[in-house]
Amino acid sequence: MRISRFLSSFFLAAVMGASLMTGLHADAKKVVLIAGPPSHGVLQHEHKAGCMLIEYCLKDIEGVDVQVHTGGWPNDPKALDGADAVIIFCTGGDRHLAIQEGRLEQLQKVMDNGAGFGCLHYGVEVPKDKGGAEFLQWMGGYFETHWSVNPHWTAEFKTFPDHPIANGVKPFAVNDEWYFHMRFPEGMKGVTPILSAVAPEKTMERQDGPHSGNPAVREAVAKGLPQHVAWAFERPNGGRGFGFTGLHNHLNWRNPDFRKTILNAVLWLAHAEVPEHGVDVALTDAQILTNLDQKRGKSPIDILRETQKQQPFISPVQGVK
């Protein structure tokens, strides 16, 4: 009898424990990161490594479940089910993962349920007539050819808005392929610029073209108007959007305020609480050089050391022998 009672109590405790764990998992904010296939040179457009760094940095955040899909769109048709946020880091334009094979319709269902939507670097660009309207609706802005531009320049971020994504972010400067002059909603309705900087005149040295220049952007730069390279968006249905145009240079993950901006945004997109001082996770260079796509070219470590010499505002080489 005692053994029977013991087993019954043990079984009941196990069931309750399993139910509790299931409930905790069910309540967790589901963040889906989609990394596109390899692109560009070594330490450029590192889709897989970048998404996996986000996963690593948020692994200890309670109540957040980050799921990374690498190499392209998830094979599992239910991968986006129940997502609180979907973030895409991939090649953009006509090859953007989101505009292939009815995926805009798949994403629309998730967005209708109030999920957050974000894109990183080239992922913010889609054709105006295929994805443009959706990205404007979901993310609050996108790279529109013959309107937006993609120069490499050192942007200095000196002030930040009173917004959770900016929690703990301090002034910093980073050289990247910062896209700007995005296509935003009329009157910037629902949009809060997060990272803004005045683009130098040298960003307009190229001739006019789909990505290089146009009369409207030249006028804006000549006037010294701040250019918004990262932004937050509040949708009418409660969903949120985030666009971040940097991350051409993978080594910029070394800058603590650069990465804090991205990590804060991931939590905010999913309606998870952003720490008062932001997500502060230290990374070694060895960790940043993990999970890189296999590409031909210079050694990542050699590029790292060259970059450290060229950009003194980036911290010294750490964690690499």
Q: For residue 321, what pLDDT is reported?
A: 42
Look at residue 187 and tell me if it is in a domain.
yes
Amino acid at the residue 84? D
Look up residue 49 and give its DSSP letter.
H
Whichever domain contains 178, its CATH number is 3.40.50.880
Q: For residue 275, what pLDDT is reported?
A: 97
**Strands 172-176 and 153-157, sheet pairing:** antiparallel
Helices (H), the chain: 2-27, 47-57, 103-112, 133-139, 215-222, 256-269, 285-288, 300-310
Residue in 104, 137, 105, 107 with CA at minimum distance from that of residue 233: 137
Amino acid at the residue 142? Y
Look at residue 167 and tell me if it is in a domain.
yes
Cα separation, 61 vs 57, whole angstroms: 8
Q: Are 119 and 135 in contact (CB under 8 A)?
A: yes
Total domain count, the chain: 1
Cα separation, 46 vs 64, whole angstroms: 23
Mean pLDDT, the chain cut into blocks of 10 residues (321 residues total):
44 42 64 97 96 97 97 95 98 98 96 98 98 98 98 95 98 95 98 98 98 98 98 97 97 95 98 97 94 89 75 44 42
Q: For residue 166, what pLDDT is reported?
A: 98
Domain hosting residue 113, numbered range: 28-310
Look at residue 279 and tell me if it is in a domain.
yes
Look at residue 236 and tell me if it is in a domain.
yes
Look at residue 17 and tell me if it is in a domain.
no
Look at residue 317 and tell me if it is in a domain.
no
Look at residue 206 and tell me if it is in a domain.
yes
Q: For residue 26, what pLDDT is reported?
A: 57
Helices 47-57, 256-269: inter-axial angle, 10-degree rounding: 80
φ, ψ for residue 165, nearest 5 deg:
-65, -25
Q: For residue 15, what pLDDT is reported?
A: 39
